[in-house]
A and B are shown apart, each in its own frame.
Chain A
Amino acid sequence: MRFLRTKATLATLGLALSLAACGGDGDKDDDVAKNTDFAAGTTMAKIADAGKLKVGTKFDQPGFGLVGLSDEPEGFDVEVAKIIAAELGIDEDQIEWTESPSAVREDLIESGDVDLVVATYTINDERKMRITFAGPYYVAGQQLMVKSDNDTITGPEDIKANPDMKVCSVDGSTPAENIKQYLADPKQLVTFDVYDKCAAALGNGQVDIVTTDNVILLGFASKSDGDFKLVGEQFTEEPYGIGIKKGDVEFCEFINDTLKDHADDYVEAWEDTAGEIEGTQTPELPEADTCA
């Protein structure tokens, strides 16, 4: 009797699981392009033939690319990569995710370890010397986050006026470089390897300000139970691009066209991920740069 019951439970469980699996994949499968036909020799044809897409993304950026307990990356960057994969005729199970921290993104692209990098990747001229950017697919802006009871800081200009205050950002990031012009003393800048530590340092009073792109800060502010708030306006424009091999204009144009053709998926991708963070606005797909 017990045996039977166990068996029945297992069977039900198995059925439930397989149903859940179907539910999860079913609606996405329809989006994957069938009978893709790309000109021979192009990157698109190579990827479609290989049947898998190698994508580099961040694993520690809430809302954009975050690997949680599920072991699969989640976020806006991840969804954008899935839109591109679908257009290449590649199922999302066929995507190979690689963690791509800021310091090695160009190296990963050059070595061919990844086909593309979608990883809160700000387009800038230094990086353009080594790789090509498709997009931008989103324009973020740098902002400041302080403790809720801090009324002294209302914008980046106030940092110079308060030389005893410390600003935290991530070592080697674009925001850390940008904020330098607003400091009275280089010692005001404190850097960690990840933003989590900046938020912790803000919480215990070791630093007074955390600065990076607004969407990342909003993620921390919404998790802080009202301890942190964002102040001032965005004072930079950080266009996020998709990094691919230098000079691959065809692939770049393909990505730009794909994003343009999938406006609905784009909005849906945002609303399911970064859009869930309180205070974010659904973006409009920015005009793509010329591919070069």
Chain B
Amino acid sequence: MDPVFDNLDLFWSGFLQTLGFIAWAAVGSLILGTLIAACRVSPVAPARAFGAAYVTLVRNVPLTVVLFFFAFGIPELGINRSFYFFGICSLIVYTAAFVCEALRSGINSVSAGQAEAARAIGLTFTQSLGQVILPQAFRSTIPPLGSVLIAMVKNSAVVGAFGVSGDLFAVYRGLTGAGGLQAFPVLIGVAVGFLIITIPAGITLAVLERKLAIAR
């Protein structure tokens, strides 16, 4: 494991890069996913159609295609931003579709009586969704949302192939390519880097689930 310990500083900077990246993507995809879930259950037909179209389109396209679209398609339209920015955007767009569906399953699990009661006391759709239904939906959706976010963390390894340099996976390619180090121990180092992010995330989610679970 010398290749790993000799290059801990590189691994550390790669780790921070990956961490920053997925923090943005996690926040962004939770927000966008929630908005799209709201569209999918809204009483407005065009909004529902948009939500359904978004999920169908994005969920069924591989992440690499989404990344390709952002990295090479959008600049073609004359919009030039950094690949780091494009990488975060594509992770958000991709993950939001899954967040939306996880959340929708939670919304479906909230009993119809809750929505009816909210309407009965005069709340608008936005109010009843935001104050009554979504808070309950989130609480019952923590395990599937956790899986979605952990999958997102792992998906972020692909982003390095689309112009983002310095992340954990780029460290692997640097050390084994020009550095001539053995691939196996370096890959173990990369795997450990990801585990350091995903395992505590899983534990946090489990704690949250215990704290917030609704007894029915």
Contact = CB atoms under 8 A, between A and B. Distances in A.
Contact of B83 (A106, A190, A193): A190
Interface in A74-111: 102-104, 106-107
Interface string A108-130: 00000000000000001011011
B182 A106 contact: yes
A172 interface: yes
Contact of A197 (B163, B165, B172, B174): B163
A204 B72 contact: yes
A204 B177 contact: no
Most B C-beta atoms less than 10 A away, residue of A103, A130, A189: A103
A190 B180 contact: no
Nearest to A129: B180
Q: Which 9 A-B pairs have the closest CB atoms?
A: A172-B177, A172-B173, A127-B180, A103-B176, A126-B180, A102-B177, A204-B75, A171-B173, A191-B165
Contact of A204 (B76, B173, B180): B76
Contacts of A176: 174, 178
A192 B161 contact: yes
Given A102-B178, A176-B174, A201-B72, 16 more contacts: A104-B176, A106-B180, A106-B182, A126-B180, A127-B180, A168-B163, A172-B172, A172-B179, A190-B83, A190-B163, A191-B160, A191-B170, A193-B160, A197-B71, A205-B75, A206-B80
B54 interface: no
A129 B165 CA distance: 27
B178 A173 contact: yes
B165 A189 contact: yes
Interface string B33-72: 0000000000000000000000000000000000000011
Contacts, number: 87
A216 B172 CA distance: 24
Interface of B: 71-72, 75-76, 80, 82-83, 160-163, 165-166, 170, 172-184
A171 B160 contact: yes
B165 A190 contact: yes
Interface string A188-211: 011111000100110011100000
A186 B177 CA distance: 19
A276 interface: no
A174 interface: yes
Given A103-B183, A106-B182, A206-B75, A171 B165 contact: yes
Contacts of A204: 72, 75-76
B163 A103 contact: no
A237 interface: no
A135 B76 CA distance: 43
B69 to A, nearest CB: 12
A177 interface: yes
A168 B165 CA distance: 10
B163 A201 contact: yes
Contacts of A200: 72
B13 to A, nearest CB: 10
Given A172-B176, A205-B80, A191 B183 contact: no
19 contacts: A103-B173, A103-B183, A106-B182, A107-B183, A107-B184, A129-B180, A170-B177, A171-B174, A172-B174, A172-B177, A172-B179, A176-B174, A187-B82, A191-B160, A191-B163, A192-B161, A197-B161, A197-B162, A206-B71
